Amino acid sequence: MIADEVVSRPAAMLPPRRDVRSAARDVRICEIGTTAAAVHAAGMSGMPSCDLIMIALNTIRSTSPPGSGSPWMQNSVLREIFTSHGRRMTFPPDEPLMNRGIAVERLLYVLDGQVLLHATSPDGRETAYNLCRRGDIIGLTCLASSNVAHCDVTTITSCEALMVERMLFHRLVFENAAATQEAYDRVVEMVWHATSLAEGLASQSLKARLARWILARLEDGGVAPEPGAVLPIDANQRLIAAFAGVSRETVNRQLKTWAEDGIVSVSGRTLRVLRPEQLRIAAQYVKDVHRI
């Protein structure tokens, strides 16, 4: 881990300050409003509802147009906080950034690279919750009174980020209505993503989950799902298995079956889509007219 220079841009012009208690009330409303969906998904997946909610608080999944990064890239008060008060840092691949059960001491705004949110079950199976990219914030659990990371956070690639200490970030967010609103919006969006993930694990077959994961990664990278499309990330089988909620051996068998059928090809850590329409059928996005 290498700490670079402190970012020295002038402080951004923030909207008028609002009473801290009003801001705190907004966060409490957020917690109440998102609990129902999280509890529903948790019940389906067997995951404690508190864990699901806190996992959602750790980061925000981008849902912007393909390849454009986080939807907050253009207008983000929280980004301005990191730009004005953050320290630029770089991290190598496979670097632990946060550990489950440990207090969050700092937050990170991802500038470049990819970061995985994940957990390991007692039997050793790894489950991935999210893949963070440029424009995402890691460590939003610090806004909760418990201030505990409920999943592990590890870099997938070399990463560059802006770091702000938890106490400073906490004060700046709750002093400003616009910052509080953005934090609220990011949390709600992440809870939606976590809920969708839990429902998918509970109700979809392995083929559907795996196909949807591949198609979603293509969309995230701005790659059209056409014959010959290549995943824009280091798509090794361990990572794919973590998102699909199964073992690497199970993923390997399914990918091998698809490769034999000419649907995909796997070479090293690269996965190439050969017949995207068959993946859409497997993902149950279109009518299943062929057995896959």
6-59 pLDDT, tens digit each: 333 333 333 333 333 333 333 333 333 333 333 333 333 344 333 333 333 343
Q: Give the residue from 173, 203, 233 where a domain finishes.
A: 203
**Maximum pairwise Cα distance, the chain:** 62
101-153 pLDDT, tens digit each: 999 999 999 999 989 888 877 777 777 888 888 999 999 888 888 888 888 99
Q: Are residues 124 and 177 in the same domain?
A: yes
78 occurs within a structural domain? yes
> Which residue do the tokens 């089988």 mark?
237
| Dihedral, CA of residue 244, residue 246, residue 251 and residue 253, to nearest 10 | -140
Q: Are residues 96 and 111 in the same domain?
A: yes
How many CB atoms are located within 10 Å of the residue 205 CB? 11
Q: Give 114 or 245, the one with higher predicted confidence.
A: 114
120 occurs within a structural domain? yes
CATH code at 269?
A: 1.10.10.10
Give the ranges where the chain is alpha helix by DSSP (H): 20-45, 49-57, 77-85, 166-174, 177-203, 206-220, 237-244, 248-260, 276-282
27 phi/psi in degrees, rounded to 5: -65, -40
Q: Are residues 44 and 118 in the same domain?
A: yes
Q: Report residue 24 CA to chain centroid gap.
A: 25
How many CB atoms are located within 10 Å of the residue 32 CB? 9
Q: Give the residue from 203, 233, 251 where a domain finishes.
A: 203
Q: Give the residue from 147, 179, 203 where a domain finishes.
A: 203
Tell me the whole-structure pTM to 2 decimals.
0.63
Specify burial of residue 231 (Cβ count, 10 A radius: 0-12, 13-18, 19+). buried
290 occurs within a structural domain? no
Domain that residue 235 falls in = 206-282
287 occurs within a structural domain? no
289 occurs within a structural domain? no
Query: Amino acid identity, residue 137?
Result: I
154 occurs within a structural domain? yes
44 occurs within a structural domain? yes
Q: Is the dihedral of CA 105, 109, 111, 114 positive or negative?
A: positive
pLDDT at residue 178 greater than cutoff 70: yes
Q: Are residues 71 and 143 in the same domain?
A: yes
Q: Are residues 141 and 252 in the same domain?
A: no
Q: Are residues 155 and 245 in the same domain?
A: no
Query: Amino acid identity, residue 231?
Result: L
Q: Are residues 31 and 169 in the same domain?
A: yes
In the chain, how many domains are there?
2
